[in-house]
C-alpha cells in the first residue's frame, strides 16, 4: 500500500512522522512525505531515505504589526496555490491514506486528501491542539492524541484515539555507557541542552552564561539550532568559552542522534514540546523544562506541568529566569541521585513504547 505523511517546520512535528514512516517501510509499504521547502523536513526526511515533495506554503505570524498582517494576507493567498499543488501530488501518488503530524505545511495535503475522499488522520501530541490541527480535525476521519486528557479538546469523541507520541525505538534501548563512550565523554556528569530545532536566542545566550558558571564541574552538550549556531559560536568565543574535550563543553548546530545524546545525559535542559517530552519519557531522563512562551495557547506550559505533576521534571518559566537560578536547579538535581532515580521511574510509567505501531495500525484499519 501507499501512504502520504505530511508535517513541517520543527523537529517536534517531523520526528513522530519519521517514526511511523520507518515502521510502514519495514512492513513493505511505500511512503511519500509532503512538506514545505523552507522547513527542516527538507533535510531530515531525505536523510532517513524517504522521498519528499514540497508545496509552497508558509506559517502565519502571531503579531498584529502592519508587516505581520501583510505577511499573513500573502500566506492566505499562498494556501490556495498549495492546495492545488498538494492535490496534484496526491492524485499522482494515489495513497490509500494520509497522516498529518502537525505544522503549517501539513494543512494543504490534509485538506486536499479530504476533498479527494482519501482517509485522513491527524496526530496531535500537545495538551492543546495547534492551529493546523484545529483546521484539519474538522475533516479528519481519525484524530490521534498523545494523552487521555487531550480528548476533551475535540467535539467528536468517537473519532479520537489515544495513541501516545511516536519516538525512535533507540530512545528505549540505547545503553548509557555505550552512548558515553561513543560520544567520548569522561566520568563527569553530563548535561544536554536543546531548545527546539529552531533554537532560541535568549536561552542560547543564557546557556553560555550557565557554562561559565559550571567552570568544568560537568560536561555540557548544547545544540543551538542551525539558524543560530554561527552567531552563538561567535558570542561564545568573545566570552572566552572553549569547546573541546578538556573543558567538557560542546556546541553543535543540531543533534542528529538525539537518542544517543539523551542516553548519555544525566539531565536535560529543554523546551516542553510534546515530542521532546515523549523522548524524555522513553529514555527515562530527568529534565529541567523551560516552556517556550511563544507558542499557541501557552501549550508548552501545560505539557510541562503534566510531566512535573507526574514527578518526571522540574519546570522553570523563562520569564525572570537567570543563569544563576538555572545553575542552582541543575546542581541540586545532579547532587541528588535518589531523586533522579525516582524521576526516571515516573517517566517510564508515562512512556508509550508502541505508539508508532498504534498509528500505523489505525492507518490500515481505516481502509
Q: Where in the chain is the domain with CATH 3.40.50.2000?
A: 2-165+353-365, 170-350
pLDDT given for residue 77 in this prediction: 57
pLDDT given for residue 31 in this prediction: 98
pLDDT given for residue 70 in this prediction: 46
Q: One digit per residue, pLDDT tens: the chain, 367 residues?
A: 999 999 987 778 898 999 999 999 999 999 999 999 888 899 999 999 999 999 987 555 454 455 544 444 445 556 778 999 999 999 999 999 999 998 888 999 999 999 999 999 999 888 777 777 888 888 899 999 987 777 878 887 889 999 999 998 999 999 999 999 999 999 999 999 999 766 688 999 999 999 999 999 999 999 999 889 999 999 999 999 999 768 899 999 999 899 999 999 999 999 998 889 999 999 999 999 999 988 777 889 989 998 999 999 999 999 999 999 999 999 999 999 999 999 999 999 999 999 999 999 999 888 7
CATH of domain 170-350: 3.40.50.2000
Q: CA triplet 207, 196, 26: central angle to 5 degrees?
A: 135
CB-hemisphere CA count at 13 Å for 367?
Answer: 11
Q: Given the C-alpha cell 539558524, which residue does it identify?
A: 227
Helices assigned H by DSSP within the chain: 11-26, 41-47, 66-93, 106-115, 131-137, 170-173, 176-182, 201-214, 229-238, 258-264, 274-283, 299-309, 323-334, 337-350, 355-365
Cα–Cα distance between 57 and 337 in angstroms, integer? 47
Work out whether the CA dihedral 243, 249, 251, 254 comes out positive or negative. Answer: positive
Name every residue whose Cβ is closer than 8 Å to that of residue 259 and which is 6 or more positions away in sequence.
168, 170, 171, 174, 279, 283
Of 108, 101, 43, 42, the residue nearest 76 (C-alpha): 108
Question: Is 102 within 8 Å of 128 (Cβ atoms)?
Answer: no
Work out whether the CA dihedral 26, 32, 37, 38 comes out positive or negative. Answer: negative
Cα–Cα distance between 156 and 351 in angstroms, integer? 26
Question: Is 275 within 8 Å of 15 (Cβ atoms)?
Answer: yes
Q: Which burial class, exposed, middle or buried, applies to 61 when counting CB atoms under 10 A from its CB (0-12, 13-18, 19+)?
A: middle
0.95 surpassed by pTM: no
Question: Is 7 within 8 Å of 105 (Cβ atoms)?
Answer: yes
User: Which CA distances in Å does 317 have to 286, 287, 325, 329?
Assistant: 17, 13, 11, 13
pLDDT given for residue 150 in this prediction: 78
CB-hemisphere CA count at 13 Å for 62?
Answer: 8
Ramachandran angles phi, psi of 145, nearest 5°: -125, 160
Of 45, 121, 172, 30, the residue nearest 359 (C-alpha): 121
Cα–Cα distance between 130 and 118 in angstroms, integer? 23
CATH architecture of 2-165+353-365: 3-Layer(aba) Sandwich (3.40)
Question: Is 57 within 8 Å of 84 (Cβ atoms)?
Answer: no
Cα–Cα distance between 33 and 211 in angstroms, integer? 39
215 three-state secondary structure: coil
Q: What is residue 116's DSSP assignment?
A: T
Amino acid at each position: 500500500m501507499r501512504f502520504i505523511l505530511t508535517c513541517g517546520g520543527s523537529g517536534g512535528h517531523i520526528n513522530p512522522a519519521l517514526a511511523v514512516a520507518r515502521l510502514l517501510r519495514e512492513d513493505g509499504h511505500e511512503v511519500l512525505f509532503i512538506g514545505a521547502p523552507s522547513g527542516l523536513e527538507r533535510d531530515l526526511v531525505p536523510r532517513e531515505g524517504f522521498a519528499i515533495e514540497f508545496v509552497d506554503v508558509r506559517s502565519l505570524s502571531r503579531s498584529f504589526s502592519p508587516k505581520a498582517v501583510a505577511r499573513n494576507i500573502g500566506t492566505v493567498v499562498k494556501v490556495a496555490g498549495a492546495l492545488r499543488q498538494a492535490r496534484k501530488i496526491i492524485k499522482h501518488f494515489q495513497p490509500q491514506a494520509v497522516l498529518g503530524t502537525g505544522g503549517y505545511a501539513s494543512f494543504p495535503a490534509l485538506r486536499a486528501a479530504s476533498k479527494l475522499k482519501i482517509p485522513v488522520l491527524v496526530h496531535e501530541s500537545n495538551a492543546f491542539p495547534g492551529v493546523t490541527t484545529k483546521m484539519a480535525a474538522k475533516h479528519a476521519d481519525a484524530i490521534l492524541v498523545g494523552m487521555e486528557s487531550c480528548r476533551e479538546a475535540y467535539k467528536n469523541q468517537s473519532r479520537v484515539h489515544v495513541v501516545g507520541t511516536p519516538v525512535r525505538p533507540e530512545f528505549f534501548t540505547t545503553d548509557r555507557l555505550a552512548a558515553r563512550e561513543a560520544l567520548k565523554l569522561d566520568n563527569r556528569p553530563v548535561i544536554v541542552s536543546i531548545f527546539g530545532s529552531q533554537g532560541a536566542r535568549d536561552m542560547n545566550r543564557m546557556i553560555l552564561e550557565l557554562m561559565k558558571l559550571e567552570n568544568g564541574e560537568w560536561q555540557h552538550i548544547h545544540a543551538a539550532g542551525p539558524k543560530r549556531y554561527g552567531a552563538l559560536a561567535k558570542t561564545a568565543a568573545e566570552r572566552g568559552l572553549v569547546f573541546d574535550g578538556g573543558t567538557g563543553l560542546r556546541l553543535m548546530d543540531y543533534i542528529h542522534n538525539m537518542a544517543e545524546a539523551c542516553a548519555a545525559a544525566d539531565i536535560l535542559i529543554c523546551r516542553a514540546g510534546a515530542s521532546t517530552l515523549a523522548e524524555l519519557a522513553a529514555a527515562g531522563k530527568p529534565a529541567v523544562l523551560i516552556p517556550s512562551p511563544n507558542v499557541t495557547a501557552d501549550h508548552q506550559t501545560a505539557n510541562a506541568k503534566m510531566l512535573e505533576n507526574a514527578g518526571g521534571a522540574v519546570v522553570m518559566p523563562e520569564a525572570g529566569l537567570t543563569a544563576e537560578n538555572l545553575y542552582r536547579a541543575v546542581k541540586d538535581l545532579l547532587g541528588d541521585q535518589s531523586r533522579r532515580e525516582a524521576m526516571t521511574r515516573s517517566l517510564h510509567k508515562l512512556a508509550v513504547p508502541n505508539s508508532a505501531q498504534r498509528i500505523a495500525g489505525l492507518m490500515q484499519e481505516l481502509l
